[in-house]
Amino acid sequence: MQTNSTRMSMLSRFIGCTLILAQPVFAEKTEEPIAEASEEKTTGNSTNAWGGSLSLGYDSNFFQATDYRSSRALSFHGSLYFSFWESYSLYTNSGGYRTLQGAEGFYSTDTVVGLSKSSLLTFGESGNVSISGQFSIPTSQSSQDNFLNTAFRVQTPISFKLADIGITVAPRIRKNFHQYTTSPNGNVNISWALGLLLVANYTYGDAFFSASALGGTSINYNGRWADGYSYGGSLTTGYNLRDDLSLSLTLASSGVYTDAAQGTLGSFDIFDEAKATYSLGLTYSF
């Protein structure tokens, strides 16, 4: 049977996946739930100087409530940004969740503070390249348990349109700064993380749909690359109830791809019931 700490780690990851991969363009690596600033709101020819969002969700995996592997929680997430000059924004976001089974209690996710430039360069009719850099504040229990001091991540989203579908390709690199190179369980902590996010968005009236895929690998403090590649994905559908209020349903899953011996294909499960989750969310934007 899983320990409480293991279940909390799994729960934190899937809440991060459902909260963040559902957000187009700006998702964080699978190990940690982090989002970035929203795009600037415009009214006529003026640009709002600040904005943000508040989200409330019900998150669950697909095991029955009577199964010891079942994980259910109420989660929330908040973000705030301030735009200045022509295309720069300061942003911050954080969140948490309240477990409804097992070791019931409140748990925080990590907090992010960053700076983004929304239009680094443009290409074609709809192409745009932006860039962001952000620091992580270890407010989550898992980061504190691993003695993470902070982390810095750079991301360069490349966005364009194919017909009516918005596409974003976002490479990113992250550097962790731990107090110790090993975690309390004896594993060597991750020093560098490399990832690539792919997102497709489509809107039809007040309805919206998105698909996200996130993959990456890492290097630990001993300079060793991970044996495989972590990946995650999500499908989201939702409806804008009002201009500032939306309802969404997200299905997410994650896993690890490991090359088998002698060059044969390794294990790559698109949908793993043990790791799949769903989330019902309500988001208020301002």
pLDDT (0 to 100) of residue 69 = 87
Across residues 241-262, what is the average pLDDT? 84
User: Residue 281 sits in a domain of what CATH number?
Assistant: 2.40.160.40
pLDDT value at 36 more than 90: no
Domain limits for position 101: 4-285
pLDDT value at 39 more than 80: no
pLDDT (0 to 100) of residue 113 = 98
Across residues 77-95, what is the average pLDDT? 94
Please give the tally of structural domains in the chain: 1
Average pLDDT, the chain: 83
pTM of the shown model = 0.81
Q: How confident is the model at residue 22 (pLDDT cuts 50, 70, 90)?
A: very low
Q: Which residues contact 28 (CB under 8 A, 6 or more apart)?
A: 16, 20, 34, 35, 153
